[in-house]
Amino acid sequence: MHSQRCGHRHSSELEDALDYSQMSTGIFIEELCKKTVEKETRALWGQKCEHTFVGLMCGIMDQMISSKATLGHALLIDCRSLECEEVPLTDPGVSVVVCNSNVKHTLTGSEYPDRVRQCKAVASAIGVKALRDATMDSLNSVKDKLSDVEYRRGRHVITEDNRVLECKDALISKDYPNAGALMTASHASLRDDYEVSIPEIDFLVELANSFPGVFGSRITGGGFGGCTVTLVKTENANALMEKMSQDYYAKYAVNVSSFITTPGSGAHPVDIS
């Protein structure tokens, strides 16, 4: 799950690893000093480190999931209030397959700030603080004041926020066909309106969605390469990974890295005595 309103991991695999390392380091210092820091505070400190020392003006989702994740649950994050809701994801009949395309397109460095600027311009035109406060009706009311690109950026964020909340409800009720359809719609929006996908990722998503037992698939991460995430019946997961490996190599002469994943815990002390 991810959006301006709610989130689940929206950055590169390297940043995700660094964020988990940050939270683990925080836990280590807390244990040494016999101090307990609120998980939200720890996440905010991690974000500040990236802003101040790394120079990466990232959001808060990666830090929050690294700090607050609960075993067997997805995490719905309100990125404004930092309120979270645990979403059970423990059905043994359903698996999440992550497939790394092992492709990263060269970027100019302006892609992320350009989209931030475009979204802020749309919010300003509508007269709201952020696009999470907007609706499609309010977006359409100022369409003539926006460029085509700005309009599509706004449409992605507004509809994605709605999809996140609908997907939460679908997962809670175990309506996996609907959850998967929302994932696939999310990918289409990220591809066409937010324009952060690439042909290799689109190929993997389309391949997955044509495979038996797959409910839905989409890009995950920061875009312009990286990974797909697919919701699939557990009985079909291994065959799906084999199919993705074979067909992707046949088309691009690149090996994918696929694995089945389950929601784990955030950074926490481990007793090794």
- The DSSP annotation for 168-203 comes to HHHHHTT-HHHHHHHHHHHHHHHHHTS----HHHHH
CA distance 21 to 4: 24
Annotation marks residue 133 as catalytic: no
Quick check: 218 and 185 in contact, CB under 8 A? no
Torsion angle (degrees, nearest 10) of CA 170, 88, 16, 216: -30
Q: Number of H helices and number of E strands within the chain?
A: 9, 6
Catalytic pick among 62, 137, 144, 202:
62
138 within 8 A of 126, measured Cβ to Cβ: yes
What number of other Cβ atoms are within 10 A of residue 255's Cβ?
Answer: 12
C-alpha 12/C-alpha 77 separation (Å) is 18
**Residues noted as catalytic:** 62
